[in-house]
Amino acid sequence: MDVIPIGGLRMLDNNEADDKIVAVLEGDAVYGQLREIYQLPPALVDRLKHYFLTYKQAPDSLQPHRVEITHVYGREEAHEVIRRSRADYDKRFGKLRELLTAALRG
């Protein structure tokens, strides 16, 4: 799928960064022309927040899941979060990619 990142939710899940990137499907008839999260209807952003604040909660759990959204950010910060995430991934798993590529060749 080709998507366009338009923003994100800065989240903390048990005190660890757990950002959620919000993107629109390229060419989507309803949202495809949007370029900033702030162009979404506020009620839709509120629904996204509610979803990400509650989707890990088990109905019968005695311990509440500690998660919070500190703020909503726009397209430029979303691109920076994506860039940093890819760099972190490559730093941690780059050798794995090289090993897999070598294994597939030989």
Mean of all residue pLDDT scores within the chain = 92
CATH number of the domain bearing residue 96: 3.90.80.10
The residue-averaged pLDDT of 66-88 equals 96
- Determine contact, residues 74/7, Cβ cutoff 8 Å: yes
Give the residue among 35, 48, 39, 41 at the shortest CA–CA distance from 76: 35
pLDDT tens sequence across 36-54: 999 999 999 999 999 999 9
pLDDT value at position 35?
98
What was the pLDDT predicted at 90? Answer: 87
The residue written with tokens 């390229």 in the block is 26
**Other CB atoms within 10 A of residue 5 CB:** 19
Question: Which residue range(s) make up the domain with 80?
Answer: 3-105
Residue 69 binned pLDDT confidence (cut-offs 50, 70, 90)? very high
- For residue 6 the two structure tokens come to 């338009």
pTM confidence score: 0.83
Count of structural domains within the chain: 1
